[in-house]
Structures are given as structure tokens and as C-alpha cells.
Amino acid sequence: MARTLINAPKTAKRGDVIEIRATIGHPMETGFRPDENGKILPRNIIQNFSCRYNGELVFSAEMFSAVSANPYLAFHTVATESGTLALTWEGDNGFSQTENISLSVVA
């Protein structure tokens, strides 16, 4: 389980635009870097991030080797109803992790 740092409001008014900031600990090994013997280290990156709001995909990012280690994303969505935001990271070597955050939406 990779470490994550997620920041999002716990409550919001219906119709408000909220910002979600998410960092995950991951080396994002580019696949272009040689080791000390000159042999290229195999690529090991997170390739996809998605945010599902009560099951509906509201944002996704396809990441490439050019994204820095411990990838950071800050994105937005409109608060519509209370529920769960599921943040999922997937990548090389079968990497897959989901973190759920609760959002309470008031009128």
C-alpha cells in the first residue's frame, strides 16, 4: 500500500466547486534511466488516475514518465450530492490502489 496525502473538503454546499489535492508515494521510474552499470532500469510508473464520485467518473489523468515521482494532482469537481469520492491509481507491475474519501453535501 503506497502512502497517500489527500486533501479535500469534508463538507460542501450543493453546486460549489471543490478542489481535491492528491499525492501518492511512488518512484515513477521512467524506463529511460541507466543504473550504475549502464543497464536501463525497467519502467515502473503510475499510468492512470481516476476519480469516481458516487461511481461516476468525474476526472481522470493518463500519466507518463515525465510526471515527477510521488505524483501530485490537483483537480476540481462540482459538489452535487453526499457520498464517496473514490481515487484510484493504476500502473506498471499490477499497481492498483483506491482511497475513498467522504463528502457531505448540504443544500
Partner 1 sequence: MRQWVLFALLLVAASAHSQSVTGVDKRRSGADFMAASTQAMQKDDTLNPGMLWVKDGEALWQKPTGQSQKSCASCHTPSSMKGVASRYPDFDDVLKRPITLSQRINQCRQKHQQTDPLRAESQDLLSLESFVAHQSRGMPVAPPDDKRLDTFRERGQQRYTQRMGQLNLSCAQCHDSNAGGRLGSSQIPQAHPTGYPVYRLEWQSLGSLQRRLRNCMSGVRAEPFAYGAQELVELELHLAVRAKGMLVETPGVRP
Partner 2 sequence: MAEIFTITRRQVVLASAGLAATAWVCPALAQSDELAVAVSTYAAGKKITEGKVKLDIAELVDNGNVVPIAVTVDSPMTPANHVKAIAVFNEKNPQRDVVKFTLGARYGKADVSTRIRLATTQKLVAVAQMSDGTFWSHTVEVIVTLAACIEGEA
Binding to partner 1 by CB under 8 A, coded x per residue (else -) over 62-91, reads: ------xxx-x-------------------
CB 80 within 8 A of CB 105: yes
Contact of residue 62 among partner 2, partner 1, none (CB under 5-8 Å per partner type)? partner 2
Backbone angles phi, psi at 62, to 5 degrees: -95, 115
Using CB under 8 A as the binding rule, whether residue 58 contacts partner 2 is answered as yes
Measured from the CB atom, the residue of 19 and 104 that comes closer to partner 2 is: 19
Sequence-separated (6 or more) residues with CB below 8 Å from residue 27: 44, 69
